[in-house]
Amino acid sequence: MKKTILMVMMVYTSVNFAQKIKGSDTVLPLSQKEAETYMKSNKTAKITVTGGGSGVGLAALVDNTTDIAMSSRKIKMDEKIKLQDAGRPYKETIIAFDALSVIVNNSNKVSQLTREQLEGIFTGKIKNWKEVGGDDMPMVVYSRESSSGTFEFFKEHVMNKKNYAASVLSMPATGAIVQSVSQTKGAIGYIGLAYTDKSVKDLKVSYDAGKTYIEPTMETAKNKTYPIVRPLYYYYSTAVEKAVKPFVDYVLSAEGQKIVEQVGYVPLSK
Amino acid sequence: MLSSSITSLTVLLIVVFLFKEGIGLFNQKPVEPGYVIAINKNNKVKELSSVQLKNIYDQKITHWSEVGGTHDSIVLFQLEDISNYYSDEQIGDNMQNLGTCLSRLVDSLPNIIAFFPDKYLDKKFQGTLLEVDKVSLADFFAGKEWIPSAKPSAQLGVLPLILGTLWVSLGAILLALPLGLAAAVYMSEIANERVRRIMKPLIELLAGIPSVVYGFFGLVIIVPLIQKTFDLPVGETGLAGSIVLGIMALPTIITISEDAMRNTPRAMKEASLALGASRWQTIYKVIIPYSISGISAGAILGIGRAIGETMAVLMVTGNAAVIPHTILAPVRTIPATIAAELGETSNGGLHYKALFALGCILFLITLFINLTVEFISNRQKHNKN
């Protein structure tokens, strides 16, 4: 039964020269919204968007089962090699940015940290808030589960590729981190900028050893002064460039970038 | 007959599959397949353990002297770092010169440790490849660190996970068993028919609440409560998990033990009362011994639910993979680990097999509990006769 449905769908989609977009769950809501509005203005276009994770999307690009792979991280060396082996040159386009903000409990005195301090906190070297200028209370460190792309990004760009301490509490969802940080005095965690609210406090972050501290806002993320920002990518093979280009151009257009901001990500600066 | 043999066959198939995948773990190396670790050929170090590798890449070990080499500091290298040493032109458009570049790099830096895919291993590679041992039983069961995503060498110590599971389940059963038994006795012997008719559906309703709702309730209500009561830095603890699981196990324990108690023949109860025994004496001398096998069945199913429960525990215990010294610290359980991590693993890979091996451990724990309870209830029956 499933097979027949699948086959019917495949026949259907290939008849309409539909585009398939697959990959990162972070980019998924954005792509869905973009595809929806794009299809409204272009009645002939058919775009299907599915999630699964950045790795899944790029693997599908290698197998040629998707036209565009969405990714919340840069393509990895071994994925490049696989695409190379499959004889499929590709193009990379940054479609938006996602800022991560470091949050603490509202009652916490500390309002800023350097990257080195963050690394110390998440690798378990710094264990008490008094070491970074706060009250004498133990730190409670929250992270996302290791299956999330946010986990990898934070490890690579904030923690200098070192491993998380074993004592770090890992939460299954962003909402759970916000909830826990809001009710735990010594808590610290990280979430996407779109998810912060008044129940938690955003920290200013310094990437130049304490000279300047930048607050995470849509403005600082847009003008690139806020450091913990990751690009979100589309990858597509040059063979189908003609077919996918109109949609990619739409996403990059002013209209498309307005949707980026609506969904809660940071639009590309002009 | 037919249905029971089909059921046993299915169970057997699941167990065989579980163990086949799980045992495969011990044929694998903790380093990602297709990757090698190389050092300069003049380096005295010839072997590094999985833990040492991880500490080197975490920069907790920074000098070769700490692992038996010279007093020089270790130079870390991963494939992404190649652009710091060679330009894109030197590597070539299709990375055709990458192998030679890597070979030259390892040769030129005496203190390097390099981690890269073995397909870029040059035929005339000028360096030593480090041997890494397969995952051993000792590493797996006695290892104290569970960091399966660690690079270059995954840390697969399940001790904190096993202890976490046992702590939480033990706490849950200690909370649920006395409470559940008391409720069962009350409902079967003391409460009048009208109270019973209201209470029983209410308790059974508890069993119908989805576990994620229990988890959410635990996170928002129980976790802050525990934090305030015990004045802890963090409320996501083993105890929070125990309380949530205890509540979840209650309906099973109550319903099954109550049914068993109500099945005590009227004649036995009346005989006891006629001999002058009080109601309380009748309960613990006649009714509980008579229904002990039903009560233990309820307890087994309750424990089974506690040990295997995933979602609620994932939300309230904090999931930090450290060995718990008290029930008031965050713990990570086996089911929560499997649920949270299986989605990201590559099918058939090291991490995937490690999670299956965790499943085997979980299965063995429940099997052991079942056999123990079976043994105890059998012995009690035997004593009675």
Cβ atoms of A149 and A70 closer than 8 Å: no
Are residues A127 and A44 both part of a single domain?
no
Residues A124, A197 share a domain: yes
Looking at this protein, which amino acid is placed at residue B126? Q
Which residue would you say has higher pLDDT here, B384 or B257?
Answer: B257
As beta bridge partners, residue B36 has B116
> Is residue A41 domain-shared with residue A126, that is, in the same domain?
no
Same domain, A88 and A134: no
The count of structural domains within chain A is 2
Judged against a pLDDT cut of 70, whether residue B268 lies above it is answered with yes
Nearest Cα of chain A lies from the Cα of B354 at a distance, in angstroms, of 15
Based on the domain organization, do A131 and A208 belong to the same domain?
yes
Q: What is the pLDDT averaged over residues B132-147? A: 84
pLDDT tens profile B278-314? 888 998 888 888 888 888 888 888 888 888 888 888 8
Whole-prediction pTM: 0.77
Task: Return the H-helix or E-strand segment holding B285.
Answer: none
pLDDT in tens, B42-74: 888 877 888 888 888 888 888 888 888 888 888
Cα separation, A132 vs A251, in Å, equals: 42
Q: What are the backbone angles phi and psi of residue A114, rounded to the nearest 5°?
A: -90, 165
Residues A69 and A92 in one domain: yes
CA–CA dist B56, B59 (Å, integer) = 5
> Is residue A117 in a domain?
yes
pLDDT at A12: 47
pLDDT digits (tens, 9 = 90+) for B149-185: 777 788 888 999 999 998 898 899 899 999 999 999 9
| Average pLDDT score over residue span A170-189 | 87
Domain co-membership, A155 together with A218 = yes
Band of residue B344 on the pLDDT scale cut at 50, 70, 90? low
Among A48-62, B26-40, B101-115, B239-253, top mean pLDDT goes to B239-253
Determine the Cα angle at B156 with ends B29 and A146, to 5°: 110
Could you give the 3-state DSSP secondary structure of residue B248? Answer: helix
Contact indicator for A214, A227 with CB cutoff of 8 Å: yes
A91 and A103, same domain (yes or no)? no
Asked if the structure places residue A169 within a domain, the reply is yes
In a domain? residue A150? yes
Q: Do B344 and A147 touch (CB under 8 A)?
A: yes
Are B340 and A170 inside 8 Å of each other by CB? yes
User: What b/e readout covers B48-87, taking b as 16+ CB neighbours within 10 angstroms?
Assistant: bebbbbbbbbbeebeebeebebeeeebbbbbbeebeeebe
Q: Count the neighbouring beta carbons within 10 Å of the beta carbon of residue A31.
A: 27
Q: What average pLDDT does the structure give for chain B? A: 85
pLDDT at B298: 86
**Cα gap A191→A208, rounded to integer Å:** 22
Same domain, A70 and A103: no
A182 touches chain B (CB under 8 A): no
Give the pLDDT of residue A147.
63
Q: Which residue has the higher pLDDT, B383 or A51?
A: A51
pLDDT at A10 over 60: no
Residue B358: predicted pLDDT: 92
What's domain B35-133's superfamily in CATH? Periplasmic binding protein-like II (3.40.190.10)
Closest residue, chain B, to A139 (C-alpha): B233
B314 touches chain A (CB under 8 A): yes
B341 to chain A, any CB pair closer than 8 A? The answer is: yes
Q: Domain B159-384 is in which class?
A: mainly alpha
Taking all residues of chain A, what is their mean pLDDT, rounded to a whole number? 84
Residues in chain B within 8 Å Cβ distance of A170: 318-320, 332, 340
Domain that holds residue A145: 98-222
Q: Omega into B152 within 30° of 0, i.e. cis?
A: yes
Using DSSP, state whether B35 is helix, strand or coil: strand
pLDDT band at A15 (very low <50, low <70, confident <90, very high): very low
Q: Say which CATH number the domain at A42 has.
A: 3.40.190.10
The b-or-e profile of B323-345 (16+ CB within 10 A means b, else e) is: bbeebbbbbbbbbbbbbbbeebb
A169 shares a domain with A209: yes
- Residue B188 CB contacts under 8 Å (≥ 6 apart), including other chains: B258, B261, B262, B287
Contacts of B187 (CB under 8 A, 6+ apart): B195, B196, B199, B200, B254, B258
Output phi, psi for A99, to 5 deg: -100, 140
| Chain A partners within 8 Å of B322 (Cβ) | 166-167
Nearest CA-CA distance, residue A257 and chain B, Å: 30
Residue A102 β-bridge partners = A190
Residue B384: which pLDDT band, with cuts at 50, 70 and 90? low
Band of residue A93 on the pLDDT scale cut at 50, 70, 90: very high
Contact call for A123 and B58, based on CB within 8 A? yes
Q: Where are the alpha helices (DSSP H) in A145-253?
A: 149-157, 174-183, 218-222, 241-252
Domain check: are A13 and A76 in the same one? yes
In chain B, the percentage of residues whose pLDDT exceeds 90 is 16
The tokens describing A31, both together, are 């792509």
DSSP state for residue B189 in the 8-state scheme? I
Q: What is the pLDDT of residue A17?
A: 58
Q: Do B319 and A169 touch (CB under 8 A)?
A: yes
pLDDT value at B37 more than 60: yes
Task: For residues B146 and B154, give the distance between their C-alpha atoms in angstroms, rounded to a whole number.
Answer: 8
Domain ranges of chain B: 35-133, 159-384
Instruction: Please report whether residue A268 resides in a domain.
Output: no
Largest alpha-carbon pair distance within chain B?
101
* pLDDT for res A167: 85
**Do residue A154 and residue A252 come from a single domain?**
no
pLDDT bracket for residue B345 (50, 70, 90): low
User: A–B: how many Cβ contacts below 8 A?
Assistant: 87
Least confident of A6-20, A49-63, A194-208, B276-290: A6-20
Which of A202-216, B29-43, B216-230, B315-329 is the least confident region? Answer: B29-43
